[in-house]
């Protein structure tokens, strides 16, 4: 029994360390040797493709005006830029506030059905050969559209994800921990996307070939993850373009983001179930990346719970070394709990507590998301996250 408990504990720790530590180290020392996809030169205005920017929103009156102004100011030929604002059952005047210019096409759907159903209606009707999907609460840098479409000169590229930059406010407790996590995620996107195996986009800033939009299953919650994964499964390249920038405000508190993370967590398990064939070794690098960066990370909360139960069993059986292991585990739990309180620990210890609390929140949301998915309770509609 003691040997079994030790094996369970060690396997649980190894699984969590792999997706958060060993996998990034693999890219640093081994994966980085793989050749990068070539970056084509920027196109001139005569050869630029027609682009359709599609923003789907629900009750976005507070930000839709600024979003439209930002899109109108993009450095892209007006005759080659179609801007579509799709209102998913909004009742706050979103569609009226969006219609500030003749160049803006507003599609108002009276019944609220969810983002994917709206995209399934709007995307086939878009004029552009390139679709750029975005959110209402972000801003593009002036050259973002040019940066995105440049990568489609490579005929193997099906989807391009831009870089999302978070705007923070001084004094926000979770700002630093979000920054640490997002820096790691962005670095991994650069490594994966540089080799054409980027696993997912971000809903704020990604583009794809319109001919490849064949519709998304209406029950899908996280379409910006599902669409790139399906393209990888079909043998296309999905790349990351770090110079195509979008800016988004962080929510004021970590708790404001928790509900959204549970929703995304439920969507992650939904996608894991539908994209399991990507784990087939015939997909080569894409299979390894999907296993290490997504599949294993999504089940990491269960390894954490199992690991803690194994520690408890070892302590109760008075296994050699179990008291030291139990004390270390309690110290980690106490440090994490401190990160949720207003108590500020000094120096690096305080920063570690904040990061640990953020890490625990992410995995708790995943854990709850699993049971929401298992019960089939996740809706395709969403509630806006507070940003002010």
Across 209-232, average pLDDT: 94
* Residue 382: per-residue pLDDT: 61
Residue 149 pLDDT > 50: yes
Residue 268 pLDDT > 70: yes
Across 79-88, average pLDDT: 97
**What is the chain's mean pLDDT, rounded?**
91
Counting residues of the chain whose pLDDT is more than 70, the rounded percentage is 93
pLDDT tier, 253 (very low <50, low <70, confident <90, very high otherwise): low
This prediction's pTM: 0.90
* Residue 251: per-residue pLDDT: 67
Contact 26/314 with Cβ under 8 angstroms? no
pLDDT tier, 178 (very low <50, low <70, confident <90, very high otherwise): low
Contact 218/117 with Cβ under 8 angstroms? yes
Residue 132 pLDDT > 70: yes
Radius of gyration of the chain measured on its C-alpha atoms: 22
Residue 44 pLDDT > 70: yes
pLDDT tens for 341-370 read: 867 778 888 888 888 988 999 999 999 999
User: What is the CA 103 to chain-centroid distance, rounded?
Assistant: 30
Measured CA to CA in angstroms, residue 199 lies from 88, 105, 118, 188, 230 at distances of 27, 31, 23, 10, 10
Across 203-229, average pLDDT: 94
Across 69-74, average pLDDT: 97
pLDDT tens for 279-293 read: 999 999 999 999 999
């Amino acid at each position: 029994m003691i040997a079994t408990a030790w094996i369970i504990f060690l396997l649980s720790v190894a699984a969590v360390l792999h997706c958060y530590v060993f996998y990034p180290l693999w890219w640093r020392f081994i994966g980085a040797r793989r050749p990068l996809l070539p970056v084509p030169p920027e196109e001139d205005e005569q050869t630029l493709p027609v682009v359709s920017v599609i923003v789907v929103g629900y009750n976005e009156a507070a930000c839709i005006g600024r979003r439209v102004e930002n899109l109108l100011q993009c450095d892209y030929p007006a005759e080659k830029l179609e801007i579509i604002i799709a209102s998913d059952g909004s009742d706050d005047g979103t569609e009226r506030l969006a219609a500030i210019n003749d160049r803006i096409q507003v599609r108002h759907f009276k019944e609220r059905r969810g983002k994917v159903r709206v995209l399934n209606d709007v995307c086939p009707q878009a004029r552009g050969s390139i679709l750029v999907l975005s959110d209402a609460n972000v801003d593009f840098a002036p050259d973002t559209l040019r940066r995105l479409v440049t990568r489609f000169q490579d005929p193997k590229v099906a989807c391009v994800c831009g870089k999302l930059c978070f705007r923070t406010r001084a004094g926000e407790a979770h700002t630093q921990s979000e920054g640490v996590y997002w820096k790691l995620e962005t670095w991994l996107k650069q490594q994966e996307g540089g080799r054409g195996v980027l696993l997912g986009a971000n809903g704020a800033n990604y583009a794809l070939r319109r001919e490849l939009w064949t519709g998304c299953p209406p029950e899908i919650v996280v379409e910006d993850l599902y669409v790139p994964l399906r393209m990888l499964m079909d043998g296309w390249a999905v790349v990351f373009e770090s110079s195509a920038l979008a800016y988004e405000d962080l929510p004021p508190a970590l708790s404001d983001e928790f509900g959204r993370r549970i929703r995304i967590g439920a969507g992650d398990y939904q996608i894991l179930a539908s994209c399991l064939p990507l784990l087939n070794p015939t997909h080569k690098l894409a299979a390894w990346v999907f296993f290490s960066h997504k599949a294993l990370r999504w089940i990491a909360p269960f390894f954490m719970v199992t690991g803690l139960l194994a520690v408890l069993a070892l302590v109760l059986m008075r296994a050699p070394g179990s008291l030291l292991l139990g004390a270390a585990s309690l110290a980690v739990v106490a440090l994490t709990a401190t990160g949720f309180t207003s108590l500020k620990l000094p120096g690096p210890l305080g920063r570690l507590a904040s990061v640990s609390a953020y890490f625990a929140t992410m995995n708790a949301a995943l854990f709850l998301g699993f049971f929401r998915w298992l019960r089939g309770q996740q809706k395709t509609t969403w509630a806006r996250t507070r940003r002010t």
